[in-house]
A and B are shown apart, each in its own frame.
Chain A
């Protein structure tokens, strides 16, 4: 399988896909897979682009179902090879004035083999019921095709190596009578593609079917956690997806076009100007998000339904006591930049000062238009929240609490919550991975899960860089395989134990790292004019990306 994408990433965004050949009616949505039998074989041979033990587990789950299918229709692999050796597509479509229906089209390399395969499978199915000839063709030759009817399971039609399935006769007749000569389907390009025309789909089935998705766009969870961009995919006119499996990797692209957009104001209109970290190659993970929290909270009446807005208002009021009299929405959140930078990195602690299992620490960097009053409010909010968590821990019977301190590095002072001291030469448990710290300095808010990382980052931050004018706004998440492997290696025994307690016969840490340790996980959301473009990949990619 080679990674050759049909979609080009140009400034104008990728060009739309041509629809697969052989789809009945007018498709509202479809999925097309090239050479599906190769997927089945890859699954059987555990060659899925995942660690072998993971693929083994997936195979273990699926195998009984496939075995059941095989007893019904005979050996699966030759059947799929003959019927769908080239490609298979499933579609939701509509005929004029009709209601939406599901149909499928399979394309095999050789018409005679395809015909023999169907005959064989239907005979096998028939003999399960004691009637091998139950499924003879209804129309041996109509519009150049052979027609079978399966009671309660629709119609199968085969013509020139291509097999169609639909629940009723009508769309098949319309399609097959229309044109006797058909072009071959595509055999190159992304092995899995999907498409949805959301506008027409909505009008065909009614908005009710999409209600949950639409609601998400109007909930704080959707807007703040997923972000206006991801949620906005549901408001697009069309969606296109393509996916690809490499020898040791997976990747996908999702494009949403023609977004009609009440959420437009919550999206970036110019690229970020993120702060650079000097030693960013040490990061296990880094991310950049655009979340206009200020605008969402200040204009909550506009973006949220009444009840959610009221709940948010009372939540804000509750939290305001931590911020020393400032209004949380207008005076705090609105003065934080919507671009949130997150980095995850190992911290190196002197022995005897840290936990036995060292987890990576995380840091959040946000630009702010902070004056002294806001800086002070942010620090006291941090301290208040730490005190509150101490109280809750005590009530829940846990006897450990943090001690608040103010410390200094260079000219910058920061607040830090220190866990109780360990006896000499003793190692703490997982709790000791937390030593939260907060600093507000130089127009920038830095919040870290461990003070050691905060200190490093304060040292490394460079002034804001100016982006190229032609650059499109982009959010991303990136996880580095080599850095993750470096973190995991010295603690492999403990991490292995932890994994084995959750998933008893899954891949070990070493197997995960062999698969991922030379690669990365990358997700990127790009805002092009009139389009949203999501790209993702995981694993060790071949050269060229």
Chain B
């Protein structure tokens, strides 16, 4: 087990996560959790640009918050209550409902020990899940890709990770230098090749490279077949019409259809709100809420929700004080949202205290890479373990 942990978690300090986590053998609270270990699915929603945590999970009873953010703290009006002193941005009603039903967990203060202020480097660290030496820099691999590979698939021959989106997938889903399967952009591409022809081509291959290509094409052909089949699946609930919703609807179809991958990723960009944050942040969070709400409804109806965990996070948070242009600059610690039917909701981690800022930022009290490895080992690997138990053990402050 030790070597697997190392591979999974890369740079996390030895011993912090100890073997304690991996003792979650039996299901601690079976209730609605009828999942078998191999059936769980992890969906990540990456928010690119640096989501402002202090405008997402609102510290409503901290005087300092109102002082540091005269304009941006106006979102307090209309916010949805979470727990005493905490609320959710007004644009997140469906997430608030999920919290009330114990299906949303929020981990406070996730970030890097030393703040990484450049998008470039922060994205790299976040996606790889570990710092790499310069010699290994050209190996394209990310934490989700590795996780998908180790977790295995639910259907023989399925890809180990799927990116739903039309552009180039984020590094997090790469595995061993390979990009994940992608499903996005315009549908209705080329006709799928026939199996007989593909097999004949594989058989006729001479030479190592030729074989490599022929096999790769056969994989692609099967992927194309899966996509063609899944495209036709009707959705069970009404979905909003946004970019993120389209991508998550494809994920829902793939999950529901038993496609096979256990790891999925989607991206929502535009969170780099240095200027006039209020209006655009509101729009982005509304898109997020609508899409996640529909995903939750859809997977619940399809009977998959209790086996699904959705992680929503961003490369860094933003500074506690607003800047001159009614926006915010790059910061550090930020909340990570975890959604799922069998997660057990609540607030975890050390809540940000705006009287105790480090250099103007909310400090990172939980290392991002530790959280990533916890999720992977508990959710994808742990036999029926509930993530909330793991989180409680990891973050006793919650």
Residues of A within 8 A of B (CB): 387-388, 390-392, 394-397, 401
- Contact indicator A394/B275 (Cβ below 8 Å): yes
User: B273 near A: Cβ within 8 Å?
Assistant: yes
- The chain B residue with its CB closest to the CB of A390 is B275
* Residue of chain B at shortest CB distance from A399: B274
User: In the docked arrangement, what's the CA distance between A401 and B272, Å?
Assistant: 15
Residues of chain A lying within 8 A (CB to CB) of residue B279: 388, 391
Docked Cα-Cα span, A392 to B283, in Å, equals: 11
Q: Does B276 count as interface, using CB distance less than 8 angstroms?
A: yes
A-side interface mostly: helix
* Beta-carbon contact of A391 and B280 below 8 Å: yes
What is the CA–CA distance of A387 and B280 in the complex, to the nearest angstrom? Answer: 12
The CA-CA distance from A240 to B290 in the complex, in Å, is 49
Question: When the two chains form their complex, are residues B272 and A397 in contact, meaning their CB atoms are under 8 A apart?
Answer: yes
With a cutoff of 8 Å between Cβ atoms, the chain B residues found around residue A388 in the complex are: 276, 279
Q: Report the minimum CB–CB distance from A296 to chain B (whole Å).
A: 25
Q: CA of A388 to CA of B274 in the docked complex: distance in angstroms?
A: 13
Write the chain B residue with the least CB distance to A401: B275
- Is B270 located at the chain interface by the 8 A CB criterion? yes
Q: Give B246-281 as 1s and 0s: 1 = Cβ < 8 Å from A's Cβ atoms.
A: 000000000000000000000001111111100110
Nearest CB in chain A: distance from B17 CB, A: 36
Contacts of A387 in B (CB 8 A): 276
Q: Is the CB of A396 within 8 A of B275?
A: no
Residue of B nearest to A391 (CB): B276
The residue in A395, A396, A397 that gathers the most chain B C-beta atoms within 10 A of its C-beta is A395
Q: Tell me which of B270, B274, B276 contacts A396 (CB under 8 A).
A: B270
A390 to B273, CA, bound (A): 12
Give the complex CA separation of A395 and B273 in angstroms.
6
Q: Is the CB of B280 within 8 A of A392?
A: yes
Report B-chain residues with C-beta under 8 Å of the C-beta of A396: 270
Q: Please name all residues of chain A whose beta carbon is closer than 8 Å to the beta carbon of B272 when the two chains form the complex.
A: 394-395, 397
Q: Scan residues 263-318 of chain B and give those whose CB is less than 8 A from a CB of chain A.
A: 269-276, 279-280
Complex interface: chain A residues within 8 A of B269 (CB): 397
- Determine the distance from Cα of A387 to Cα of B279 in the docked complex, in whole angstroms: 11
* 3 pairs of A and B residues whose beta carbons are closest in the complex: A391-B276, A395-B270, A395-B280
CB pairs A–B below 8 angstroms (18 shown): A387-B276, A388-B276, A388-B279, A390-B275, A390-B276, A391-B275, A391-B279, A391-B280, A392-B280, A394-B272, A394-B273, A395-B49, A395-B270, A395-B272, A395-B273, A395-B280, A396-B270, A397-B269
Greatest chain B CB density within 10 A among A394, A396, A397 is at: A394
A302 to B49, CA, bound (A): 46
Scoring A387, A390, A392, A401 by chain B CB atoms within 10 A of each residue's CB, the highest score goes to: A392
What 1/0 mask marks residues of chain B from 312 to 340 whose CB sits below 8 Å from any chain A CB?
A: 00000000000000000000000000000
Contacts of B273 in A (CB 8 A): 394-395
In the bound complex, what is the Cα–Cα distance between A388 and B279 (angstroms)?
A: 9
A390 and B280 CA atoms in complex are apart in Å by 11
B278 nearest CB across to chain A (Å) = 9
**Alpha-carbon distance between A91 and B280 when the two chains are bound, in angstroms:** 56
Contacts of B49 in A (CB 8 A): 395
Residue of A388, A390, A397 with most partner-chain B CB within 10 A: A397
For residue B276, which residues in chain A have a CB less than 8 angstroms away from its CB?
387-388, 390-391, 394
The residue of chain B having its C-beta at the shortest distance from the C-beta of A396 within the complex is: B270
Report the separation of the CA atoms of residues A244 and B297 in the bound assembly, to the nearest whole angstrom.
59
